[in-house]
Amino acid sequence: MFYNLEHHLVLGRLGHAAYAPGTRGHTALVAAFGPQVLDESGNTIDRAKLRNAVFGPPSNSNNNKNNESRNSSSSSSSSASRITESNGLVQPLSGNETKREAARAASDSTETTASQRKATLESIVWPLVREAIEARIADVQRQRQEEQEEKLQAAPMEEEEVQLPPIENDNSGQGPPSPRCIVVEAALLLEAGWADLCDEVCFFLSRKERKIEKNG
């Protein structure tokens, strides 16, 4: 089945528009993550700063080593009281075991916090994007209805009831015209729960380099 593309919605752009200055999304994100996500003007949300606020700054090996060193130092004083069971005997943890446990606990805590911040971001942005999708679809449907009404008004009036003509497209080939469609492009279509807005769902594979080039 071939379709005649009528409208193309790129949800990445709708997502950015969802937290543009003056929108509900902008107000909610600043309230959730603080004014540090704003750019120098203090009006626009900086995507890089927002990403860092949610997921943390880009990893740096030297900083990680320093953090592990601080974690090890803070936990060394309590190493004598940390114990584990081995073969039914209670034994104190060794220095290396204490360091590994402290680093693991710090990592788990960081991942949990990042996961919670990510959930907060999604709870704010995803419903707004869905509203934008529904609004765009409603606009296209309204345009279709207006086209049909214009065709009806232009048609010669007859005594019997006039049926609304089918929507035509620009196909110049033979055979029946292809159905007109709205394409919704979204990497998180299923995760965000937007698939119910679509009649069909298609998957496309793309090289990593192409994704980076497209999304930046």
Structure tokens at 78: 């309590």
pLDDT tens digits for range 8-65 = 888 888 899 999 999 999 999 999 999 999 999 999 999 999 999 998 887 654 455 4
The strand pairing partners of 8, in sequence order, are: 183
With beta carbons less than 8 A apart as the criterion, state whether 179 and 144 touch.
no
Predicted confidence at residue 166, as pLDDT, reads 53
pLDDT tens digits for range 151-180 = 888 766 555 555 555 544 445 555 555 567
With beta carbons less than 8 A apart as the criterion, state whether 46 and 53 touch.
no
pLDDT tens digits for range 49-99 = 999 999 888 765 445 545 444 444 444 444 434 444 444 444 555 566 655
Please compute the mean of the pLDDT values over residues 130-137 and round it to a whole number: 92
Phi-psi region of 189 (alpha: psi -120 to 50; beta: other; left: phi over 0): alpha
Predicted confidence at residue 104, as pLDDT, reads 62
State the Cα–Cα distance between residues 204 and 207, nearest whole angstrom: 10
In which band, very low, low, confident or very high, does the pLDDT at 192 lie, cut at 50, 70 and 90? very high
Residue 197's nearest CA partner among 144, 127, 142 is 127
| Mean model confidence pLDDT for the chain | 75
